[in-house]
Chain A
Amino acid sequence: MIHQMHRRDFLKLAGIGGAVFVSGATLRAGQMQQDMGAFYFVQISDTHWGFTGPAINPDSQGTLKKAIAAVNSLEQRPDFVVFTGDLTQTTDDPAVRRTRMAEFRDIVSHLNVKTVRFMPGEHDASLDRGDAYQEFFGDMHYTFDHKGVHFIVLDNVSDPTASVGEAQLDWLHADLKQISSDARIVVLTHRPLFDLAPAWDWATRDGDAVIDTLLQHENVTVLYGHIHQEHHHMTGHIAHHAAKSLMWALPEPGSVPRKVQIPWDATSPYKGLGFRNVKADTAQARYKLEELSLGSIR
């Protein structure tokens, strides 16, 4: 049961200036005032379904299912679950890619929530520019509104050069023009939009253009994956928060000469693997991130 999990790293975002903050500003006129109540959702990232490597994760067939069981046992059901990319492990074989996506979709269909959101990672979409992904999961960039928050899903992976691209930037500009400068915005994407570690391919080539656009708005937070660890960073007033993976952990950026997968630790199974709850605290007008470790689930 999830209440038996060791809940750690309960991060009060306002303390690092990264809060998202929900109080009562005007969003899209007439559309988003309906429900400003508290809510929470779950972010799961980098599930890499189809990966095999006993030295890295001997339970590669089990971690996703374990996480889904954990979400289903949460005492309070989340409003939605979002997967921030690398749903599947990449493959050159288009048939295998589709098999993995079908298996992934079947497994996550057991989530006991009304709404599940997806976006691609480079493992899902870079080798075929998202053809297979779109067959199974639909659009690669889109928006949705939830209880006063405007969510923007950005695709920075289907172009194999890790670019958002001019067309999507135009689309982003057009979307942001429709909402007020103090609207609460959460951007969901796969790669970091800032240059976290370019030598490790932890960047988005035209991420600066995205950030420059987002900086015109006062309340923006970015949730992403890709780097297989919890990480927090500010660009101006925008907070960026990376989530853990469910398949393997990676070292802290720049901490070792070469980026390599962290081997499985038999003395501490599932170490570094997990997901997060994102809680909107309306009374305090801030979000809280609650990092949940897969190793603590019984």
Chain B
Amino acid sequence: MTRNLIALHATLLVVFAGAGLHQFAIQSWARETPNNEKTIRISASTFEFKPSEITLKKDVPVVFELTSQDRRHGFSLPDFHIRADVQPGNAEKLRFVPRKVGTFTVLCDVFCGDQHEEMTGTIRVVD
């Protein structure tokens, strides 16, 4: 089990309006991300995310930089209603502010093959 404890020291200016952001909005915000936000690089490939476990601090924004090593995947955090397509050859940026503490599932939500359903990860949000 891989554990990446991410120390985050960001100050943030933009407040998410809550659940249900459209991908367009997410991408637009990602382009405007201040430099002092922590970037977390996540690689997707059949059938895993690397890293597969990430720990974040509540209310501290981060930017996920998502890349695919092989085919189209999805990166979805249903408990926060955010997601992004992850295509080979393109680094997708997804800004995220964890507003609640807990352990949450990340999953690939673009069907990618016979072990697609095992392509999951965990995000822990701590105080």
Q: Chain A interface (Cβ within 8 Å of chain B)? A: 89-92, 122-123, 126-127, 157, 160-162, 198-201, 205, 258-259
B117-A162 in contact (CB<8A)? no
B111-A160 in contact (CB<8A)? yes
> What distance in Å separates the Cβ of A35 from its nearest Cβ neighbour in chain B?
40
Q: Is the interface of B mostly helix, strand, loop or mixed?
A: mixed
Residues of chain B within 8 A of A161, CB atoms compared: 74, 85, 109-110
Residues of chain B within 8 A of A258, CB atoms compared: 120
Q: Chain B interface (Cβ within 8 Å of chain A)? A: 72, 74, 76, 78-79, 85, 104-105, 107, 109-114, 116-117, 120
Residues of chain A within 8 A of B109, CB atoms compared: 161-162, 201, 205
> What distance in Å separates the Cβ of A20 from its nearest Cβ neighbour in chain B?
30
- The verdict on A92 contacting B78 (CB below 8 Å), with A199-B105, A258-B120 known, is no
B113-A90 in contact (CB<8A)? yes
The docked-state distance in angstroms from the alpha carbon of A161 to that of B113 is 13
> What distance in Å separates the Cβ of A188 from its nearest Cβ neighbour in chain B?
20
The docked-state distance in angstroms from the alpha carbon of A91 to that of B104 is 29
- The verdict on A199 contacting B113 (CB below 8 Å), with A160-B72, A258-B120 known, is no
The 9 closest A-B pairs by CB, nearest first: A198-B78, A126-B111, A199-B105, A160-B111, A122-B111, A199-B78, A90-B114, A160-B110, A161-B110
The docked-state distance in angstroms from the alpha carbon of A205 to that of B114 is 20
Residues of chain A within 8 A of B78, CB atoms compared: 198-199
The docked-state distance in angstroms from the alpha carbon of A123 to that of B111 is 8
Question: Contact check: which of B74, B107, B110 meets A199 at CB < 8 Å?
Answer: B107
The docked-state distance in angstroms from the alpha carbon of A92 to that of B70 is 13
B117-A259 in contact (CB<8A)? yes
The docked-state distance in angstroms from the alpha carbon of A141 to that of B109 is 22
Residues of chain B within 8 A of A89, CB atoms compared: 114
